[in-house]
Amino acid sequence: MSSTPVIKCESVYKIFGTNAEKMLQSANGNVDAKTFQDAGCIVGVNNASFEVSKGEMLVVMGLSGSGKSTLLRCISRLTDATGGKIFIEGQDLLAMNNKQLIELRRSKMGMVFQSFALLPHKTVLENIAFPLQIKGIKTEESIKKAIEMVELVGLKGRENYFPRELSGGQQQRVGIARSLAVEPDIWFLDEPFSALDPLIRKEMQDEFLRLQGKLNKTILFITHDFDEALRLADRIAIMKDGLIEQLDTPANIVLNPKTEYIRKFTEEVPREKVLKIEDIMDSNSLGQSENSISVLKDAIIETVAEKILSQEKSVNVIDKNNKVIGSVKPSKIIQTVFGGRKENS
Amino acid sequence: MEKIYKYPKATQWIFLLLVFFGLCFAIDVPEGYEFAKAGTEFIDKDKLDQTKYSVFWRLPAFIAWMPGWINESVFFLLNDWAPIEYFDSDIQETKTRPVVLHITRIVSRSMLFMIEFIREILIGGVETVVAFTSWDWIDANPWAELPGLPWTIVAGGAILLGHKLNGRNLAIFAGITMFYISTFGQWKPSMQTLSFVMVAAPISFILGLAFGIWAYKSKRVENILNPLLNVAQTMPHYSYLVPIMVLFGIGDHAGAIATIIFATPPMVRLTLLGLRKVSPEVIEAGKMSGCNDFQLLFKVLIPTARRDILIGVNQVIMQCLAMAVIASFIGAKGLGWNLLLALNQLRIGLALEAGICITLIAVLLDKMSLAWANKQINYFENPTFFQRNKYLIIFFGVVFGGYILSYIGTFYFKEGFNYLFIVPHNKGISTEAFWNSGVDWILDNFFDPLKVFNTWLITEVLIPMKNAFLRMPVVATFILFMGAGYIIGGLRSAVVVGSFTLFIALTEWWDRALITMYMATFGVIVSGILGIIIGTLSAQTKTSIRITLAVCDTLQTFPSFIYLIPVIMLFGVTDTSVLIAVVIYATIPATRYTIEGLRSVPTALHDAGSMSGVNRLQRWLKIELPLAFPHMMLGINQTVVFALFMVIIGAMIGTTDLGQYILKALSDRQGTGNGLMLGLCVAFIGLAVDNLIRTWADHRKKLLGLD
């Protein structure tokens, strides 16, 4: 890595319980959830190490109780990690005093919550302006900025509504606008769309991708929805019982699930909707195909499957500059979509 | 035999009752035992020497020495303990006095100063100036006094404030209130009461908020505060008065202090409750917005908990006005004092007018404080200087106009009183004659039926009930209470209830406590039945729910004394009056909780019931009642506390229970110990019942999966 990663975790532990720290020390880096539980401690996060680089979106996926939210709260220091090190842009997060932490949050961090966590006594506008006012920015200026944010998330005309007067989707738009008001570099989203209806969720994901395309923040996104993770992520970390089971790109996770647990998630995934041509192409067979038809490497399989399957020979894969970078056989498509499934009677 | 295993609880109850009644019949009244009698005879130590009776009948008064000991301790603290030197500015020299006395004097003086200051802004006077100078200086400079405001200005100010806070309706209400107060000649006492409330209420609010926050932050503080709050909220108002009188003397400040002690606990409770309810995500959102501790508290936690805190403010204001009457026992001037006087002279019309004044002020202050807290800012309008300061400018206009009017008044009303400045106390309109003739008319026409009812109630219901309570041997009472505790909440509850009862049994007022219990029990039973019936009936449609809750809200704003007025009107000075007041007062929480309980039954269950084809009665019996019952029992819990308070207040019109003794302690310089101990007795009755009902309701709610 050339530049410092924006977020860096080194064997982060979070253990709940009275003697957590002592137990962790004596465990000597070998934490077993069962023994801890017998001692009255609950392991929230177990030896998490990873890096997130600038502009990257890391999605942490796990079922409830897997420790994903706890991990996020350790990195935002809403709870203190029991062990390990966390660096935000090279600064040691756990060594910061309260003042530095507040400064960091005021300037660099924004967070969106599952249940929106809007202040019930403030209007849309006041909620969005809240972090700015907390920073000490004048009312007039903060309201001006808040109006900008209202437009960004498409809530124009509802500035003076109270949260209770808005639908879930609209409330979360306010939550998003609030978290972006201070123009943070790091954006935490804790299951932001889980409390929404499926249709609204889809709409909000699109909206979210649009915003991210515009803003290019460093993102830590928590979800329990595997499809959502696949849709949004640059990389996915799958957690179970506090451990990160696998951390990889969506394609690699779908194609090479590391454990049986992850395989269960990937089994039902419609791969043609998730994978890109790039993920399944053969890059060693440069220029071997004489076929005149070519597909873009970023294309989702589903969108070009018909085109490729109508051919008998391999199809060229090109990048944005029309340079051929590989090829893909029609049989590969069939193998990807239907292969490797268990036979069910 | 099978049934015993099938219904273990029912069997336990039956067994308990059998033992209880068995003991009642087995233990006879000892010969020569003197029951507590009507009237206010002083405690005859010989007759009350319970040691000569069997311990099964009455426990010996082992802690009869405690009141005396408390008195001595207070006197020691006040007069001898830890003297310090201080500078007396009146006589310009250094003196010594004990630290407690010093502190209480400082508190008294500053409290009094604040009250006088507000009071004299409103109605004029010299005390404020005196506080900065001296009486001699005032004598030399007779011009130096605060002039006071003509009532037109205060009324105009109230209307403007009402309009600024909540638009036309509140303005109209403020206008009506002020106009009523003025024309009925209640201006001066009303302003006295108002000035007293305007000091006591903010102090209670701030204290309550501070303690609530502290308890929120520290579990230990909460654990210490909790029992104190419990006792403070169940001690009858009267019993505070004696110690406050001893410590702080007599006057408005003492009344204010008593009020603060009474109004703060609900504020603490509700603050804590509200803060607890703030969702952790909202707190995290605040932290992630970069709040420091201070910002988190004042910009996130408190505003988010606003709903409960506002209920607390409302409670504070209500308590302050409810205490207005009781505080007048220790010298608070104003409406309360007038009301008390009128009640004592049985001038119903006058009492009613003063009572309406208190109620109007209470409702007005309540509405204003709510509106103030709900005010929002519009960021989109761009007001001009005039728009921004509209109200201030109009207010200056009102002040100017008011003075001009009152100046004109000096020419117009040549002799005596300037009605445009202030309508003196006995010069306003009065409807007293109307009310008196109303009472006369009722008595003329309904004297016989009322009397028949009254006599029937007293001879057929109350006296037998009272005798039955007094006839209980102490050991049977213990077995009943502790057994109930054991069945409901296990050993822990049994011990708690037992120790509360033991405390009362070891004082010399066990008989009196039994009378209090009988009156409260009667009140609770009747109000419970009434409340459940009214609540159930009005829970049928949305409109009737709204109406009934609105009525409950309004009735709860009435200071408790008000309830005595109409019943004395009808039944004269008897136990019946007190009990009817108790019933009316205590029915309010029973009704409210019944409605709330019935409303909280999930719709899905209603639908399930409908699909099973239940009829109305079945729905009520099989679905609504079982689910709503735990919540309704919490209402009964409130009813008990309300009933106890009213019973004690009823001592004013001559009952023979603990209240009578508390009242007597008030007129006794050595009454501190008695007042406190009697107060504790009443509080402990309330707390014992509270423990039983709450344990049961919690248990039941958990079983039903509510909450």
Half-sphere exposure of residue B392, counting CA atoms within 13 Å on the CB side?
A: 5
In the predicted model, what is the mean pLDDT of residues B370-377?
74
- Residue B82 within a domain: no
Q: What is the amino acid identity at position B158?
A: A
In the predicted model, what is the mean pLDDT of residues B532-538?
91
Alpha-carbon dihedral sign for residues A111, A114, A120, A123: positive
- Residue A166 within a domain: yes
From the list B279, B290, B380, the residue facing A131 with the nearest CB is B290
Residue A224: DSSP 8-state: S
pLDDT band at A345 (very low <50, low <70, confident <90, very high): very low
Question: Rounded to whole angstroms, how far apart are CA atoms B188 and B233?
Answer: 31
Instruction: Report the pLDDT value the prediction gives residue A218, as an integer from 0 to 100.
Output: 93
Residue A5: DSSP 8-state: P
Residue A89: C-alpha distances to residues A185, B137, B547 (Å): 10, 72, 61
- Is pLDDT at B74 greater than 50 in this prediction? yes
Distance from CA of A33 to the nearest CA of B (A): 26
> Among A114, A89, A116, A115, which Cα is nearest to A103's?
A89
A308 and A164 within one domain: no
Question: Rounded to whole angstroms, how far apart are CA atoms B343 and B577?
Answer: 13
B172 Ramachandran zone, left/alpha/beta (phi>0; psi -120 to 50): alpha
Alpha-carbon dihedral sign for residues B409, B412, B418, B422: negative
- Residue B29 within a domain: no
- Domain span including residue B599: 518-707
In the predicted model, what is the mean pLDDT of residues A209-221?
90
The CATH number covering residue A65 comes to 3.40.50.300
Instruction: Report the pLDDT value the prediction gives residue A331, as an integer from 0 to 100.
Output: 84
From the list B304, B379, B380, the residue facing A119 with the nearest CB is B304
Would you say A219 and A53 are in contact if contact means Cβ atoms under 8 Å apart?
Answer: no
pLDDT band at B414 (very low <50, low <70, confident <90, very high): low
Alpha-carbon dihedral sign for residues B489, B491, B492, B493: positive
From the list A102, A143, A179, the residue facing B379 with the nearest CB is A143
In the predicted model, what is the mean pLDDT of residues A88-98?
90
Q: Which residues share a beta bridge with B300?
A: none
Residue A343: DSSP 8-state: P
- Residue A299 within a domain: yes
Using the Cβ of B288 and the Cβ atoms of chain A, whether some distance falls under 8 Å is answered with yes
Using the Cβ of B299 and the Cβ atoms of chain A, whether some distance falls under 8 Å is answered with yes
- Residue B444 within a domain: no
pLDDT band at A111 (very low <50, low <70, confident <90, very high): very high
Residue B465: DSSP 8-state: H
Q: Transcribe B14-75 into DSSP letters.
A: HHHHHHHHHHHHHSPPPTT-----SS-PPP-TTTT-GGGS-TTT----TTTTHHHHHHHHHH
Q: What is the amino acid identity at position B687?
A: L
- Residue B106 within a domain: yes
Q: Phi, psi (5° rounding) for residue A331?
A: -65, -30
Give contacts of B376 with chain A, Cβ < 8 Å.
Answer: 123
Name the closest residue on chain A to residue B286, using Cα atoms.
A131
Record: contact B288-A105, CB cut-off 8 A: yes
Which of A2-6, A217-221, B455-459 reaches the highest mean pLDDT? A217-221
Question: Rounded to whole angstroms, how far apart are CA atoms A200 and A182?
Answer: 26
Instruction: Report the pLDDT value the prediction gives residue B85, as an integer from 0 to 100.
Output: 77
- Residue A121 within a domain: yes
Least confident of A51-55, B75-79, B137-141, B463-467: B137-141
Instruction: Report the pLDDT value the prediction gives residue A132, as an integer from 0 to 100.
Output: 92
A302 and A215 within one domain: no
Would you say A244 and A48 are in contact if contact means Cβ atoms under 8 Å apart?
Answer: yes
B112 and B234 within one domain: no
A195 and A311 within one domain: no
Name the closest residue on chain A to residue B378, using Cα atoms.
A160
- How many beta-carbon pairs below 8 A join chains A and B? 71
Record: contact A113-B281, CB cut-off 8 A: yes
Give me A186's structure tokens: 């790091």
Q: What is the amino acid identity at position B706?
A: L
pLDDT band at A175 (very low <50, low <70, confident <90, very high): very high
Residue A212: C-alpha distances to residues A147, A187, A193, A208, A234 (Å): 19, 10, 15, 6, 12
SS3 A247: strand
In the predicted model, what is the mean pLDDT of residues B457-471?
87
Instruction: Report the pLDDT value the prediction gives residue B271, as an integer from 0 to 100.
Output: 93
B165 and B125 within one domain: no
Instruction: Report the pLDDT value the prediction gives residue B332, as an integer from 0 to 100.
Output: 83
- Is pLDDT at B39 greater than 60 in this prediction? no
Domain end, chosen from B80, B114, B140, is at B140
B155 and B135 within one domain: no
SS3 B656: coil
Residue A234: C-alpha distances to residues A224, A231, A237, A275, B615 (Å): 16, 9, 10, 12, 60
Domain end, chosen from A236, A254, A271, is at A271
Instruction: Report the pLDDT value the prediction gives residue B140, as an integer from 0 to 100.
Output: 74
Which residues contact residue B623 at a Cβ distance below 8 angstroms, ignoring those fewer than 6 apart? B601, B605, B606, B609, B614
B275 and B135 within one domain: no
In the predicted model, what is the mean pLDDT of residues B355-383?
79
SS3 B612: coil
- Residue B45 within a domain: no
> Among A41, A15, A19, which Cα is nearest to A29's?
A15
Residue A328: DSSP 8-state: E
Record: contact B281-A117, CB cut-off 8 A: yes
B550 and B574 within one domain: yes
Instruction: Report the pLDDT value the prediction gives residue B549, as an integer from 0 to 100.
Output: 86
- Residue B215 within a domain: yes
Q: What is the 3-state secondary structure (H, E, C) of A65-89?
A: CCCHHHHHHHHCCCCCCCEEEEEEC
Using the Cβ of B284 and the Cβ atoms of chain A, whether some distance falls under 8 Å is answered with yes
A207 and A164 within one domain: yes
Domain end, chosen from A256, A271, A286, is at A271
For residues B672, B107, B226, B657, the Cα torsion angle rounded to the nearest 10 degrees is: 30
In the predicted model, what is the mean pLDDT of residues B115-125?
83
- Is pLDDT at A29 greater than 80 in this prediction? no
B250 and B130 within one domain: no
Question: Rounded to whole angstroms, how far apart are CA atoms B181 and B191?
Answer: 9
Residue B545 burial (CB count, 10 A): 17
pLDDT band at B38 (very low <50, low <70, confident <90, very high): very low
Instruction: Report the pLDDT value the prediction gives residue A281, as an integer from 0 to 100.
Output: 82
Question: Rounded to whole angstroms, how far apart are CA atoms B507 and B659?
Answer: 15
SS3 A242: coil
Residue A300: DSSP 8-state: B
**Angle (CA) B177 B182 B183, round 5°:** 105
A208 and A317 within one domain: no
Residue A10 burial (CB count, 10 A): 14
B524 and B559 within one domain: yes
Instruction: Report the pLDDT value the prediction gives residue B41, as an integer from 0 to 100.
Output: 44
Question: Rounded to whole angstroms, how far apart are CA atoms B278 and A68?
Answer: 23
Using the Cβ of B282 and the Cβ atoms of chain A, whether some distance falls under 8 Å is answered with yes
Supply the mean pLDDT for chain A.
86
- Domain span including residue A92: 51-271
A199 and A189 within one domain: yes
Tokens 């050339």, residue located: A2
Q: What is the amino acid identity at position A112?
A: V
The CATH number covering residue A320 comes to 3.90.1280.20
Would you say B589 and B635 are in contact if contact means Cβ atoms under 8 Å apart?
Answer: yes
Question: Rounded to whole angstroms, how far apart are CA atoms A144 and B343?
Answer: 62
Supply the mean pLDDT for chain B.
83
Q: Transcribe A113-138 into DSSP letters.
A: -TT----TTS-HHHHHHHHHHHHT--
> Among A69, A19, A15, which Cα is nearest to A46's?
A15
The residues in B 373-392 lying below 8 A from A, measured between CB atoms, are 376, 378-380
Instruction: Report the pLDDT value the prediction gives residue B40, as an integer from 0 to 100.
Output: 41
Q: What is the pLDDT of residues B614-656, one digit of tens each?
A: 888 888 888 888 888 888 888 888 888 888 888 888 877 766 6
Residue B334: C-alpha distances to residues B34, B190, B254, B299, B617 (Å): 42, 6, 14, 38, 51
Give me B602's structure tokens: 């999930």
B229 and B117 within one domain: no
A214 and A104 within one domain: yes
Count: domains in chain A: 2
Using the Cβ of B298 and the Cβ atoms of chain A, whether some distance falls under 8 Å is answered with no
Half-sphere exposure of residue A63, counting CA atoms within 13 Å on the CB side?
A: 6
- Residue A114 within a domain: yes
- Is pLDDT at A72 greater than 60 in this prediction? yes
Record: contact A134-B288, CB cut-off 8 A: no
A187 and A332 within one domain: no
Would you say A328 and A281 are in contact if contact means Cβ atoms under 8 Å apart?
Answer: yes
Record: contact A123-B376, CB cut-off 8 A: yes
Instruction: ipTM value, please give it.
Output: 0.83
Residue B43: C-alpha distances to residues B30, B471, B508 (Å): 20, 20, 9
- Is pLDDT at A90 greater than 60 in this prediction? yes
Residue A37: alpha-carbon gap to chain centroid: 29
Q: What is the amino acid identity at position A241?
A: D
Question: Rounded to whole angstroms, how far apart are CA atoms B637 and B635?
Answer: 5
Which residues contact residue B24 at a Cβ distance below 8 angstroms, ignoring those fewer than 6 apart? B471, B472, B473, B476
From the list A120, A125, A182, the residue facing B379 with the nearest CB is A125
B244 and B160 within one domain: yes
Give contacts of B282 with chain A, Cβ < 8 Å.
Answer: 117-119
Which residue would you say has higher pLDDT here, A6 or A345? A6
- A325, with CB counted inside 10 A (0-12, 13-18, 19+), is middle
- Residue A32 within a domain: no
- Residue A343 within a domain: no
The CATH number covering residue B323 comes to 1.10.3720.10
- Residue A14 within a domain: no
Count: domains in chain B: 3
In the predicted model, what is the mean pLDDT of residues B101-117?
87
A291 and A263 within one domain: no
Question: Rounded to whole angstroms, how far apart are CA atoms B424 and B402?
Answer: 17
> Among B662, B656, B680, which Cα is nearest to B35's?
B656
A226 and A88 within one domain: yes
Record: contact A105-B279, CB cut-off 8 A: no
B588 and B679 within one domain: yes
A230 and A220 within one domain: yes
A326 and A282 within one domain: yes
Record: contact B281-A114, CB cut-off 8 A: yes
Residue A211 burial (CB count, 10 A): 17
- Residue B187 within a domain: yes
pLDDT band at B231 (very low <50, low <70, confident <90, very high): confident
Instruction: Report the pLDDT value the prediction gives residue A49, as an integer from 0 to 100.
Output: 92
Which residues in B477-500 are b (16+ Cβ under 10 Å) and which e? bbbbbbbbbbbbbeeebbebbbeb
Which residue would you say has higher pLDDT here, A337 or B201? B201
Give me B482's structure tokens: 């502790």
Q: What is the pLDDT of residues B93-108, one digit of tens each?
A: 777 778 888 888 888 8
From the list A102, A134, A182, the residue facing B299 with the nearest CB is A134
Which residue would you say has higher pLDDT here, A201 or B2? A201
Distance from CA of A214 to the nearest CA of B (A): 22
- Residue A42 within a domain: no
Q: What is the pLDDT of residues B305-349, one digit of tens each?
A: 888 888 888 888 888 888 878 888 888 888 888 888 887 787 778
Chain A residues with CB under 8 Å of a chain B CB are: 73, 76, 78, 98, 102-103, 105-107, 109-111, 113-123, 125, 130-131, 134-135, 139, 143, 159-160, 175, 178-179, 182, 188
- Residue B460 within a domain: no
Question: Rounded to whole angstroms, how far apart are CA atoms A257 and A159?
Answer: 46
